[in-house]
Amino acid sequence: MANISFLSGSIYSTAFFGITVYIFFVVIRYLIKFQRMRHFFDALPGYSTKQKHWIRGNLHLYVKNDSVDVNQITTLTRRFPKFYRVWFGPFTPVVSLVHPDSVKVLLKTAEPKPVGHGPTYRTLIPWLGEGLLIAGGSKWARSRRLLTPAFHFEILKGYQTINNQCVDILINILEKYADTGESFDLFQLISNCTLDIILQSAFSYKTNCQHDRLQHSYCKAITEVTKLASRRNRNPLMMFDIIYNMTSDGKLFKQNCDYIHSVADSVIDSRKKILDNGQKDVKKYLDFLDILLSAKDENGIGMSKTDIRAEVDTFMFEGHDTTTSAISWILYDLAKHPEYQKMCQNEVDKALENNPGFVKWDDLGKFEFLTQCIKEGMRLHSPVPLISRQSTKEFTLEGITFPPGTFFGINIYGLHHNSAVWTNPTKFDPDRFSKDNATKMDSFAFTPFSAGPRNCIGQHFAMNEEKTLITRILERFTLEPDPDHTVSPHMAAVMRSRNGIKCIAKRRKE
């Protein structure tokens, strides 16, 4: 019995010793690999090693007041005009690309969005699922093929009535401000209008969100999850699900996601039942959900309910705040430059003289100078300032070969403010996008909708919406910046202002 006990103890001791040795060598191998990686990335252009915090990396310099510091981006881009490295914490280097020559190397590929730990899109998965924004590989390729018909010009034509009807409501709200001369938060009013448009375009969901956004439970939930997701991404500690899910924010995020999903599921089930029963929909246009329900791949297989919901939620996410940001900043730029605003108004008056108060599909191509102003506004205040990729293979930039798994930041704001690419980049100058100048421009110098195979599938939808809203507002009003308000740019998921964008509307025509 004693021998058995001794033998048993000896086996356990040997096993414990073997496991300990194995763990020791795994740790040593990891440390050696990490040291090599650290030396490689430390040698790249960027903050010096003396500026690296042992926990935060370079975030204490790169992030100020809970958002990426635009001044840091412009300073680093001036020093390192092709790319630079930033440490996000002690273990994650991000290579920030800020020049067409470096940006195009990544954007010409379909390299996936990062969804692991680190500066990734993973925190959006509970809300958006594996929609087109987040999916990679064959799933992304299949979804892209299935969704492309949803943005065909013939489908987009049907949304033009929605755009105009929603702007009618916005115009009536602005009329009241014009009567009083009171300033208003342009960003908030535009946000309410674009939410109205996207809800109706996505799945014909009508609300009173422009008048009472936070009283409608679905609109309130959308607003809440957007705010919570942005707040989470600014706190490295909240990247760990086990911690975040125990916080009040984490519980509220899940609660709102569940509600958003339940509404989408209910609409999908109802619409599918109509289709299965062969009933006709009374709508005069096909919304995004209609297209998804009828989409089938080359094998005749359609999208699952979960996939459809993910794409509807992604369409909502990508098509709301981004267009809000673009329209708000463009109008603010025009308010600050009355000479350009007047040129746009003259163009609008001429285009709409036979049909005032409504922008038809055929009118959208008539606004040449306004389009220049829209593009310049999106350059100066990039609506989506940062996107990212994680490489699955080696990439060579400027003679340096980067290993698979490297985090690359496509720094759209840095690219659009790179003085090696743009003359006087902080100046609002619509002439940059005149026909003559546009033909000389590198196709990857201006990428507000990204570029390459993973570009924004809804960019024509967004441009049509932007043109319609801006045109209708300028047809009726002249905007001026509130002289008592200083706008404070804030780089979050989209370019915002910390304290709103306050303007004054003056009526042009009675």
> What does DSSP assign to residue 448?
B
Q: What share of the chain is helix, strand, coil (3-state, %, to 5)?
A: 60, 10, 30
Listing DSSP states for 236-248 in one string gives GGGGSHHHHTTSH
Beta partners for residue 504, in sequence order: 480
Residue 209: closest CA among 232, 193, 221, 223: 193
Instruction: State both tokens at 127.
Output: 């809300």
Beta bridge pairs of residue 82: none
473 Ramachandran zone, left/alpha/beta (phi>0; psi -120 to 50): alpha
Q: Which residue has the tokens 């163009």?
A: 347
SS3 at position 325: helix
257 annotated ligand binder = no
Length of the chain: 510
Cα-flanking dihedrals φ and ψ of residue 456, to 5°?
Answer: -70, 115
- Please answer whether residues 383 and 492 qualify as being in contact, where contact means their C-beta atoms are separated by less than 8 angstroms: no
d(CA 416, CA 258): 38
Tokens representing residue 85 in the block:
């490295």
Number of C-beta neighbours around residue 66 at 10 A: 14
Show the DSSP H helices in 43-99 as ranges: 59-62, 70-79
Contact 221, 260 (CB under 8 A): yes
- Which SS3 state, helix, strand or coil, does residue 197 take? helix
Residues 6+ apart with CB under 8 A from 81: 98, 99, 418, 419, 420, 421
Q: Residues marked as binding for heme?
A: 456
Q: Residues marked as binding?
A: 456
